[in-house]
Chain A
Amino acid sequence: MTEPLVSIRDLRVAFHGLPALRGIDLDVAPGEAVGLVGESGCGKSVTWLAALGLLPGTATVTGSVKLQGQELLHAAPSVLDRVRGGRIAMIFQDPASALNPVKKVGVQVAEALRLHRGLEGSAAEAEVLRLFDQVGIPDAKRRIHIYPHEMSGGQNQRVMIAMALAGQPELLVADEPTTALDATIQAQILDLLRRLQQETGMALVLISHDLGVVAEMCRRVCVMYAGRVVEESPSDELFSHPRHPYTKGLLAALPDMVGPRRRLEAIPGGVPEPWNMPPGCAFAPRCDRATPECGAGLPGFVPVGPAHQAACIHVQPATVPA
């Protein structure tokens, strides 16, 4: 395997002493697309907010996040300023609240160009026009002079993407980038992200609650539950042969678009509260395969196939060495 671009080891986050992230290991290779899926509160966003030093002071963060060997956790602000928006850019679910409502969109993108690439004046304007063109905003010459409220949600997300591209990042972290958008606009934005990734060769981390979105965009997927990764797999394999009971449960709970309609198999109960974390496997109280041994300790990863592992003591390890 090539040297990872980002390497996260045993990343732990606690808010006011309550654990939100309970030991994450994750590598992102240059140019690859990785999906992080899971339900609200599983820690998929917190992982990247912690990695980039974006959490408030009330959070305790431990572990290691390395960008090509350089430690980012608790790094000096001057180091982080160059990384954030420069080498690693992030876009969020709600573009309207991430943009400044009283500044013209072109000015906001130009600001990113000045900070990360030192472009000013007409050079910056030319680059803003090129970026708008690249992210598919029509009539860019006029559009750079309007305000976020004059654009639709889809167009605002394109502006956010243009701003993220301004620093020519090696990694784009997209946190639920299409969740607030309509289905046909979501399809446009996903298409755009896929095309930009091919054009620029940047890596993409896609954080989503939508298994379908992740399946279409990513080669590799990590499923998270209660602050841990419970299954990691190539995405085709994950959706055809899920191994962790939680992943299986999530897929069975999803209504189908084709085939006969069946009663949904809901996962009983709810996600455990951070102050009420069960001992051992956090999914055990909702799991139909749980046995007393599940409560004995945190389950480690069991290799179940090529590049496929699941954190469950009941999965059969792969018989053929991967």
Chain B
Amino acid sequence: MSLLSLEGVSRVYATRRGLFGKPVPVRAVDHVSFSVAPGRTLGIVGESGCGKSTTGRVALGIERPSEGTVTFEGATMPMPGTPEWRRMRARLQLVHQDPLGAMDRRLTVAAQVAEPLEIHGIGDETERRDRVAALLRDVGLRADLAQRHPHELSGGQRQRAVLARALATDPALLVADEPVSALDVSIQAQVINMLTDLQAARGIAMLFISHDLKVVRQVSHEVAVMYLGRIVEQGDPEAIFADPLHPYSRALVSAIPVPGPRRIERIVLSGDPPNPADRPSGCAFHPRCPLAVSACRAEVPQLKMAADGRQVACHLVEAA
């Protein structure tokens, strides 16, 4: 059974062109469906503005979908601000890129990790203190760091503290939005290993959002590639990164600089990703696609099952 599922979810914002311009609807997320099982990780990759973070916010219930439904633990996501929503928030937690921005600079690490326990009324004071100590141990922070303030910690230590806080309420799902992007390679590896260890020990499900394909491949059981609000390819990470089928995934994978010999010939796309407020007709990728045919300009390709069971939204990929 799935823990979290999104069914045909869209998120539309209204923006204005200029001061007196007419409001233009922007579909930041467009007909996205997926589900995440307990203890599993779905990785979402894509470039800036592709809607991956908005998808994460909708999955967390921080934003309401404009269309479609979000189901968590078998129930529809309640309205933000309601008591049911508050209760559910303890089960869903967010970790994002900038740990310093996510922490209160005036509070000690221990006080911040204890805060969710106080808010959700978990345990008495001694229990909370023990729990905070255990959480800090789980994320590999020395006990003496508990009384430090965020600015006294390194970037890696701060991200560990943020994780300890996110884990305090024993969540079933963690939405990790670029959690290691601001960290140096050697520290990044420490945090990635810790995340996968914690997942194995606690059975947490993860929505892992990142622009870094190598990191996503490392942590994910399933991967979704997004382009301009839509999922264009979804399936097994080994298959997608070794042999991407969608022309956009292919360009994205080929663009990753790797030390050592290259396996896939580099495809350099022309132009920038289009403005979501000015979405190209048909397949949104067609103006940059080296393979586009006339059907691509006319018709939006739907996700369909390809030969090895993965989903691809491209007119040129044969359905199984």
Interface residues in chain A, defined as those with a beta carbon under 8 Å from any beta carbon in chain B: 39-40, 152, 154-155, 182-188, 190-191, 209-213, 215-216, 239-240, 249-251, 253-258, 261, 263-268, 270-271
**Which one of A185, A240, A249 contacts B272 once the chains associate, using CB atoms below 8 Å?**
A185
Contact status of A183 and B256, CB under 8 A, knowing A257-B214, A258-B242: yes
A-B contact count (CB 8 A): 114
**A154 with B272: in contact, given A187-B266, A251-B259, A253-B186 (CB under 8 Å)?**
yes
B154 in contact (CB, < 8 A): yes
- Specify which chain B residues have a CB less than 8 angstroms from the CB of A188 in the assembled complex: 268-270
What residue in chain B is nearest A268 (Cβ atoms)? B190
Q: How far is the CA of A215 from the CA of B262 in the complex (A)?
A: 11
Interface pick from B32-40, B98-106, B128-136, B247-255: B247-255
**Which 6 A-B pairs have CB atoms at the shortest separation, nearest pair first?**
A212-B257, A253-B189, A266-B189, A182-B47, A39-B184, A255-B218
CA distance A187 to B288 in the complex (A): 14
17 A–B pairs (Cβ distance < 8 Å), ordered by A: A39-B186, A154-B272, A182-B48, A182-B273, A183-B255, A186-B255, A186-B257, A187-B255, A188-B270, A212-B258, A215-B259, A250-B185, A257-B213, A257-B253, A257-B256, A264-B189, A266-B190
Contacts of B192 in A (CB 8 A): 255, 264, 266
Kindly supply a per-residue 1/0 record for chain B positions 244-288, scoring 1 wherever the CB is within 8 Å of any chain A CB and 0 otherwise: 000000011111111110010010111011000000000000000
**Docked pose: A261 CA to B196 CA in angstroms:** 13
A155: chain B residues at CB < 8 Å are 272
Q: Which residues of A contact B272 (CB under 8 A)?
A: 152, 154-155, 185
Q: Is B217 an interface residue (CB 8 A)?
A: yes
Point out which of A185, A263, A266 has the most chain B C-beta atoms below 10 A from its C-beta.
A266
- B196: chain A residues within 8 A (beta carbon): 263
Residues of B within 8 A of A240 (CB): 260
Bound-complex Cα distance A270 to B273 (A): 37
Complex CA–CA separation, A183 to B214 (angstroms): 12
Given contacts A183-B213, A264-B193, A266-B190, contact A257 B255 (CB under 8 A): no
The answer to whether B186 touches A249 (Cβ under 8 A) is yes
CB 8 Å contact bits of B187-199 with A (1 = contact, 0 = none): 1111011001000
Contact partners of A216 in chain B: CB under 8 A: 257-258
Q: How far is the CA of A270 from the CA of B192 in the complex (A)?
A: 15
The A-contacting residues of B in range 69-89, CB under 8 angstroms, are: none
A188 to B156, CA, bound (A): 31
How far apart are the CA atoms of A217 and B300 in the complex, in Å? 38
Q: Which residues of B contact A251 (CB under 8 A)?
A: 259
B297 interface residue per 8 A CB criterion: no
Q: Is the CB of A266 within 8 A of B193?
A: yes
> For the complex, what is the distance from the CA of A243 to the CA of B193, rounded to whole Å?
25
Kindly state the separation between the CA atoms of A212 and B185 in the bound complex, as whole angstroms: 12
Q: Give the most central of A184, A191, A210: most B CB within 10 Å.
A: A184
Q: Give the residues in chain B near A261, CB-CB below 8 Å.
A: 217-218, 238
**Residue of A187, A190, A211 most packed against chain B (CB within 10 A):** A187
For residue B242, which residues in chain A have a CB less than 8 angstroms away from its CB? 258
